[in-house]
């Protein structure tokens, strides 16, 4: 499809990934369809995956119960220097957005759970960025919370790796060639709660933005509110579809692909008069991965557009600017 077709869409496509169960031949079939979607839209629904509905719903139920706790209990888990914990409403403003001038904080609260790193892990002891244990609700307040989350994270990691391999093939790279960058993936499971939204100009559940990382895999509840921007400046709804994840390209994948794949702006506005819960899972490279344009995405006609960058450096610049809890006092804590 010609480059002029990038961003020219009026609906989000659906990709059946059940062919993963057929091995390498199935991956190639998925990759062929995936490439078109990621080149021209950057968003799609995934169906036919192996993540059980019961697991998705169990995490959503735990998210609801967590956010129903008294604020003073949630604040006991307030985000720490390792970017793990509770993020209260009005404390996240996407000032690094490349698609809008954002000055007002998002109308959401969330619990951030990253890849688990033991307190005595060498990376944690060395105080490397984002390396430390998660903050978990007290067992007497939320019994069973941790095993439900850990089971789901394992399942989402498996799906993330499947999609990573399909993306590798879609970009014309050899099978397994980018897998070493995900030996110790940087992952985030964000349990988001969007209260019913006030009708006030300039307020969003999540302001227009692009995601930072490799791919996002989003499970929505039945409320809706996610919208994706096309090149005609129209906001296209991405309504909930049962048993699917919404997947989108993040900025680091766009950069890695030399902008062959597009990281598309999106936003959340909760106009439903109901509370909304979502659970995005962000599957990203290791913090020490050097990200530079892939050989298959560079040519004499298409020279590399970006300097190489360590993923960890790229990520921390954005996190530190967008979250109040990442201020100097928080990082020194």
Pairing of strands 186-194, 109-114: antiparallel
**For residue 243, what is the DSSP state?**
T
CA distance to 100, 112, 276, per residue, from 207 (Å): 8, 18, 15
1, pLDDT greater than 60: no
> Which residues are CB-contacts of 12 (< 8 A; sequence separation ≥ 6)?
41, 43, 44, 45, 228, 236, 238, 246
91, pLDDT greater than 80: no
> Which residues are CB-contacts of 64 (< 8 A; sequence separation ≥ 6)?
193, 277
What's the total number of domains in the chain?
Answer: 1
Least confident span in 214-218, 238-242, 328-332:
328-332
Burial (CB < 10 A; 0-12, 13-18, 19+), residue 327, is exposed
Per-residue pLDDT averaged across 265-294, rounded? 94
Per-residue pLDDT averaged across 177-204, rounded? 86
Q: Which helix (H) or strand (E) holds 143?
A: none
State residue 272's pLDDT score: 83
CATH code for the domain in which residue 119 is found: 2.60.120.330
Cα separation, 30 vs 164, whole angstroms? 12
Digit-coded pLDDT (tens) for 116-155: 999 999 999 999 999 999 999 998 888 899 999 999 999 9
107: closest CA among 93, 118, 120, 97?
A: 93
State residue 327's pLDDT score: 45
Cα separation, 119 vs 164, whole angstroms? 29
Digit-coded pLDDT (tens) for 56-66: 999 999 999 99
Cα separation, 90 vs 92, whole angstroms? 6
227, pLDDT greater than 80: yes
9, pLDDT greater than 60: yes
**Residue carrying structure tokens 């996407």:** 94
**Residue carrying structure tokens 């998705």:** 56
Average pLDDT taken over every residue of the chain? 90
| 277 close to 249: Cβ distance less than 8 angstroms | no
3, pLDDT greater than 80: no
99, pLDDT greater than 60: no
Residue 101 confidence class, pLDDT cut points 50, 70, 90: low
Q: Domain range holding 29?
A: 3-331
Is 109 strand, coil or helix?
Answer: strand
DSSP-assigned beta bridge partners for residue 247: 44, 217
Cα separation, 246 vs 52, whole angstroms? 15
14-16: strand order across its sheet: 14-16, 43-47, 245-249, 215-220, 276-284, 186-194, 109-114, 85-87
Helix spans in the chain (H): 24-40, 53-67, 71-75, 122-125, 145-170, 251-256, 311-322, 328-331
State residue 198's pLDDT score: 61
State residue 201's pLDDT score: 62
Burial (CB < 10 A; 0-12, 13-18, 19+), residue 308, is exposed
CA distance to 10, 164, 169, 244, 268, per residue, from 237 (Å): 9, 26, 29, 15, 10
Pairing of strands 245-249, 290-291: unpaired
Pairing of strands 226-229, 266-268: antiparallel
Per-residue pLDDT averaged across 78-99, rounded? 76
| 225 close to 277: Cβ distance less than 8 angstroms | no
């Amino acid at each position: 499809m010609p480059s002029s077709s990038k961003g020219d869409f009026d609906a989000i496509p659906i990709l059946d990934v059940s062919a993963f169960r057929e091995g390498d031949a199935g991956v190639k079939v998925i990759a062929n369809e995936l490439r078109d979607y990621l080149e021209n839209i950057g968003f799609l629904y995934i169906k036919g995956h192996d993540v059980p509905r019961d697991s998705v719903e169990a995490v959503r139920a735990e998210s609801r119960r967590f956010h129903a706790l008294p604020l003073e209990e949630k604040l006991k888990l307030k985000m720490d220097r390792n970017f793990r914990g509770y993020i209260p409403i009005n404390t996240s403003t996407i000032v690094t957005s490349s698609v809008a001038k954002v000055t007002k904080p998002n109308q959401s609260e969330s619990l951030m759970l990253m890849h688990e790193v033991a307190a005595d892990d060498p990376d944690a002891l060395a105080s490397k960025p984002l390396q430390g244990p998660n903050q978990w609700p007290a067992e007497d307040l939320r019994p069973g919370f941790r095993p439900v989350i850990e089971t789901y994270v394992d399942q989402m990691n498996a799906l993330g790796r499947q999609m990573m391999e399909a993306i590798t093939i879609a970009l014309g790279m050899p099978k397994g060639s980018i897998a070493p960058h995900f030996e110790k993936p940087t992952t985030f499971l964000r349990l988001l709660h969007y209260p019913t939204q006030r009708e006030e100009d300039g307020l969003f559940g999540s302001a227009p933005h692009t995601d930072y990382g490799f791919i996002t895999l989003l499970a929505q509840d039945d409320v809706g509110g996610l919208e994706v921007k096309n090149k005609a400046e129209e906001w296209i709804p991405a309504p909930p579809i049962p048993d699917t994840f919404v997947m989108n390209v993040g900025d680091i994948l766009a950069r890695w692909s030399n902008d062959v794949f597009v990281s598309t702006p999106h936003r959340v506005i909760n106009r439903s008069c109901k509370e909304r819960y979502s659970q995005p899972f962000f599957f990203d490279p290791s913090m020490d991965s050097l990200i530079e344009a892939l050989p298959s995405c560079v040519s004499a006609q298409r020279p590399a557009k970006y300097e190489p960058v360590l993923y960890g450096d790229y990520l921390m610049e954005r996190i530190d600017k967008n979250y109040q809890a990442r201020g100097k006092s928080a990082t020194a804590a």
